[in-house]
A and B are shown apart, each in its own frame.
Chain A
Amino acid sequence: MNITENTEAQRLNFWERLYLPEIVRGLSITLRQLFKPKFTRQYPEERWEPLGSYRGRPVLVLDEDGERCVACGLCSRVCPALAIEVQAGETEREKERYPVKFEINMLRCIYCGFCEEVCPEEAIVMSKDYELVFEDRESAILDKEQLLVPIAQLQDRLEFLRRYK
């Protein structure tokens, strides 16, 4: 059925139906737009520094006494994407357990932060690292050496967790 009453064209007044004044109005808008400040970030030169609330690459905390992780395996258990693999080992030190193997598959990780949330030792946290590029599947699986990050670099996130977790 064709609509013939109260159509868009009928609602316009004479000057609007002439079309040209309206085009000029539109042109003036786009002309003003031309000189407005731009918001584009020139990425490789200008980098974005995320806040503490940002969930980037999950990392293992390395404090003065060494790694915090006690290889309880909760993170591995809670991980919805099954990205974390932990194998526990024992030592003679006071803190008996440590991870012999700790791997995160970054192709599986969904950055949900559950591992961080469930960790009783605050040993795994989400970092600010968002530039994650891998050349093949093997190198996307990060081992313990690649995951350990000195605690000094993670202050923002730890602060955030203490306040909001």
Chain B
Amino acid sequence: METLAAQLLIAAIKAFIVVNSVLLAAAGLVYVERRVAAWIQDRIGPNRVGPFGLLQPFADVIKLYFKEDLVPALADRTFHRLAPLISIAIALSLYAVIPLGDYILVAGERVYLSVAPHINVGLLYVLAMTSVGVYGIVLAGWSSNNKYSLLGGLRSSAQMISYELTLGLSVVGVVMVAGSLDLYEIVYRQQHVWNIVYQPLGFLLFLVASFAETNRAPFDLPEAEPELVGGYHTEYSGMKFGLFFLAEYSNIVVASLMMTVLFLGGWHVPFVPQLPQWLGLQEGSLGMALFQSAVTLSKTAVLLFLFIWVRWTVPRFRYDQLMRLGWRVLLPLALLNILATGLVLLVV
């Protein structure tokens, strides 16, 4: 079991499961987004393909595959092709460190419920990878040889770099409380009291910053249709566009999962932490693992609904408003949050 081959096999199996679930989740999210949007606007939404229109995202993907793959004549073909790949690769790699549950005992060995468990810089890895994700968007904007795409890409990078600071600083409080960057350790520490109780401001800042980070409304300036046509993906068609779309939804799932893990207690059940024991689930059994994953995912689902709900409620920010909010409101608040957390930890 301790051989390299076995470890690689386990990692491969986990990665296979994770990647496929992410793709399915993104498809489901597209469906939910369209349905909720329709309901909010007094419409019905897609209800034709399959029962309740559930197969609509698959029909969309099939359509995207059959579309002509256009590349602008003067585009930089290498980077034009590379950009969506970067976006989707980064988006998928983020899932490696996020724990869905604790572990399963297989032949006396602990198999943790994430591809790369107990990385001691897990949180830093997530923050670093989201920053790298900007490359995909900037390259897409630049290589398309289209001024609207370029502006969309530039906006996106400026926005993401601005809000990355807030994002990073807002979790410093969590790290100070937990005393570790390991996402498992952070969840273990929340068994009795969730971090949102200690860090309400931190949670709020993280929430707002992740809206900006995932380019979601009300901060979806990079794809502001009235100003920039379609933004950085204007010149993309077919499945290349599909990959950007997928990466975007995948990033929303990551942001929701991160909020669950960092602030909402991960797989711990609120108010009744002994619930799995009462249900007769053994620590390390398959049932326990499924239960924990279900808890994590249902918390995530609530946050995902929040993302969609906010998108169809709040109008888009203007660019200067966005920057002012980022630098003059959120960043000082994040610093204040660190200061307050530090003082409290010093006193207690």
Report A's interface with B, CB cutoff 8 A: 20, 23, 26-27, 29-31, 33-36, 38-40, 42
Contact = CB atoms under 8 A, between A and B. Distances in A.
Nearest to B43: A40
Contact of A33 (B42, B44, B314): B42
Nearest to B218: A23
| Interface footprint category on B | 10 to 19
A27 B313 contact: yes
Given A27-B309, A33-B39, A39-B42, 20 more contacts: A20-B204, A23-B310, A23-B313, A23-B314, A26-B313, A27-B310, A27-B313, A30-B40, A30-B309, A31-B309, A33-B40, A33-B41, A34-B36, A34-B39, A34-B40, A38-B42, A38-B43, A38-B44, A40-B43, A42-B44
A38 B204 CA distance: 34
Nearest to B312: A30
Q: Which 3 A-B pairs have the closest CB atoms?
A: A30-B313, A40-B44, A34-B39
Contacts of B312: 30
Interface string B26-67: 000000000010011111100000000000000000000000
Contacts of A38: 39, 42-44
Nearest to A34: B39
Contacts of B313: 23, 26-27, 29-30
B42 A26 contact: no
A34 B36 CA distance: 7
26 contacts: A20-B204, A23-B310, A26-B314, A27-B309, A27-B310, A27-B313, A29-B313, A30-B309, A30-B312, A30-B313, A31-B309, A33-B39, A33-B40, A33-B42, A34-B36, A34-B39, A34-B40, A35-B39, A36-B42, A38-B39, A38-B42, A38-B43, A39-B42, A40-B43, A40-B44, A42-B44
Contacts of B41: 33
A40 B39 CA distance: 11
A28 to B, nearest CB: 9
Nearest to B44: A40
Nearest to B310: A27
Contacts of B309: 27, 30-31
A29 B313 CA distance: 8
A35 B38 CA distance: 11
Nearest to B41: A33
A92 to B, nearest CB: 58
A23 B311 CA distance: 11
A40 B44 CA distance: 7
Interface centre among A23, A29, A38, A39 (most CB of B within 10 A): A38
A23 to B, nearest CB: 6
Contacts of A35: 39
Contacts of A31: 309
Interface centre among B43, B204, B313 (most CB of A within 10 A): B313
A26 B313 CA distance: 6
A40 B45 CA distance: 10
Contacts of A27: 309-310, 313
A42 B40 CA distance: 18
A42 B44 CA distance: 9
Contacts of B42: 33, 36, 38-39
Nearest to A27: B313
Contacts of B40: 30, 33-34
Contacts of B43: 38, 40
A55 B311 CA distance: 41
A18 to B, nearest CB: 10
